[in-house]
Chains A and B, each alone.
Chain A
Amino acid sequence: MTQLKQRLSFEYDTAIQKNHVFLLLLTGLGILALLSMLLAVGLGTVKIPPDIAYKIIAYKLFHLNIDNVMSQVSPAHMDIIWQIRLPRVILSAVVGAGLAMCGTVMQASVQNPLAEPYILGISAGASLGATFSILIGSASGLFFGLGTAFWAFIGALGASFFVLVLSGIGGRMSTVKMVLSGSIASALFIALSNLLIYLSNDAEGIRSVTFWNMGSLAAAKWDNLMLPVFGIALCCLFFLFQSRTLNTLLLGEEAAVTLGINLTKVRRIYMIITALITGLIVSVCGIFGFVGLVIPHVVRGLVGSDHRRLMPGTILIGSIFLIWADVLARIILKSGELPIGIITALVGAPFFMYILFKQSFDFGSK
């Protein structure tokens, strides 16, 4: 009897062992993410010795005056570390996690490994909202008090509902219809944004919109940080508990329904939450692509398709990726900085090409 029991639970024990290995990997990634944040604070155009940077943070956080650091440091350096770099590094970590997570959820939800908020048109909607707010809102004095952030969020939500409704026309929402609706939404909202820009003839507004459309984390401040940090953290928590449903969605629409998943409802909830995250992110740092596309693919290669592993993996690796992408954006030019969208695209596009090639050689037998 004991023997039988042992035999029956052999597969379970193997799974538990595999899980231990994975937890170890996850802890490693967590430490790597923290280390990345610390290192990133020490890097930038203004050379501040890393040890001074950490002493400033220690002083601000815990009021530890190590080596009497406060008397050695200029107030300018203090501000650079505490008011500029630290919020920015935190924002990049959170945004990276959010974008990568959105990509993972979208890909499972439409069963298409190419999906991400950008392809489904949600970011284009957010961008239209932002453009609208910057150009029309500020020019006419209307809508003041409702910031760009709010309008980006409304735009993202509007785009999500647009895609949901469009892909639901003519019966059940199918993957193909959803992806097509996403392209329609993208094309339409980008065209509308451009129309607004051309009609406005506002040179400064146009520059600001251009910057918006290439992304930057430069706007990070303590007071605009809290909303994205807590918003995205809550959404991460939510999706970490959705692994089983996400796995089931991968099996296809019919299979998910036969396993008891209310597909329409689940997709609707996921769409709204990913719209929330996208709106939050676009409102603070504009549009940049590829993070939600590339990170899930990389992590899938590392830990497999099972969302119980994939989800925590993408969140951490997404963070680490964007922290370093932003460091690069800050230090690569001698004067000024590069929009981060250029960096994510330059890193992401060749990588994505590689994935496509690899997939075409062993398609379906991976």
Chain B
Amino acid sequence: MDLELKNINVKLGDRNIIQDISMAVAKGEFVGIIGPNGSGKSTLLRTIYRIIQPNNGTIWLDGKNLKDIKLSESAKKMGVVGQFNSINFDFTVLDMVLMGRTPHKSLLGSDTPADYAIAMESIRKVGMEKHANRSFSTLSGGEKQRIILARALTQQPQLLILDEPTNHLDIKYQLQILSIVKSLGIGVLAALHDLSLAAMYCHKLYVLKEGNVITSGVPNEILTPELVQDVYEIECDIQENPATGYLSITYYPACRHA
């Protein structure tokens, strides 16, 4: 499963949110999108998971124009963990995760033992098997996010779209979620706000600023103090940590020169 964006433009109202963006996610590749608030990360992802129609450009999923694929078909291939998970209705965790089977089901199809097995496997993957019969609405924000991920995994997608998947999680689960996702070996496109985590997990990064891709490439090559200064308007120091082998990013206080 690969995803390719060609010259995507998105206008919301009369504001250009996304300007002429092209990007690609190859099979099994973990691709990150970074950029400050308002740079268009979420809008771009929402365009890919079909909430917003692009004004211009084409999205190719597995070589097919996304426009020509039925929603129920693309939902079999693409799982989404978005920034939306507030419901006031009382489903159990297991029921919630089972809904990930929806795109695979016909109108009258009921859940089979196999569906339950897939759902339970997903719940185990996110470490929530002890809570399978709890009410979803009693979970904490972080637990809910893990269950939403489990639901997306239950779709058995070939491509996962993650919109800041770790923003409610403490550091243990941030690492855990990203590790789970990476271990699946499927294509991932994730908007991330933590640059160190992005550098640690992503094969490739796209850097967004004001709806444009400023640069893209392997994290260790493109993440420089100059880039961070340009995009986020802050100063930092970036070095490869000899103990871990990962990039270590240290920020300076915002008004160092004042």
Contacts and interface: CB of A to CB of B under 8 A. Distances in A.
A259 interface: yes
B91 A255 contact: no
B94 interface: yes
Given A11-B120, A247-B99, A365-B138, A259 B87 contact: no
B224 interface: no
Interface string A199-221: 00000000000000000000000
Contacts of B85: 252, 255
Given A262-B71, A304-B90, A365-B138, A257 B84 contact: no
Contact of A15 (B86, B105, B116): B116
A-side binding surface: helix, strand, loop or mixed? Answer: loop
A260 B102 contact: yes
B84 A254 contact: yes
A161 B58 CA distance: 32
A306 interface: yes
Contact of B87 (A241, A251, A262): A251
Interface in B133-174: 135, 137-138, 152, 155
A300 B137 CA distance: 15
A261 B95 CA distance: 17
Given A258-B82, A365-B138, A305 B71 contact: no
Contacts of A250: 87, 89, 91
A253 B84 CA distance: 9
Contacts of B135: 366
A30 interface: no
B113 interface: yes
Interface stretch (B15-23, B44-52, B231-239, B244-252): B44-52
A365 B137 contact: yes
Interface stretch (B24-32, B73-81, B176-184, B200-208): B73-81
Contacts of A254: 46, 49, 51, 80, 82, 84
B75 A366 contact: no
B187 interface: no
A9 interface: yes
Contact of B116 (A9, A171, A244, A258): A9
A260 B116 contact: no
B-side binding surface: helix, strand, loop or mixed? Answer: mixed
Contact of B90 (A247, A251, A305): A305
Contacts of A244: 102, 105, 107
B150 to A, nearest CB: 13
B117 interface: yes
Given A248-B102, A255-B84, A259-B102, A8 B120 contact: yes
Contact of B86 (A241, A248, A252): A252
A113 interface: yes
B82 A255 contact: yes
Interface string A282-309: 0000000000000000001000111000
B91 A258 contact: no
B197 interface: no
B241 interface: no
B100 interface: yes
Contact of A259 (B75, B84, B91): B75
A303 to B, nearest CB: 11
A65 B210 CA distance: 85
A258 B120 CA distance: 20
A260 B74 contact: yes
Nearest to B117: A8
A259 B100 contact: yes
B105 A257 contact: no
A9 B95 contact: no
A306 B95 CA distance: 9
Interface in A223-266: 241-242, 244, 247-248, 250-255, 257-262
Interface of A: 8-9, 11-12, 15, 111, 113, 171-172, 241-242, 244, 247-248, 250-255, 257-262, 300, 304-306, 363-366
9 contacts: A8-B117, A9-B113, A248-B99, A251-B99, A254-B84, A257-B49, A259-B75, A260-B76, A366-B135
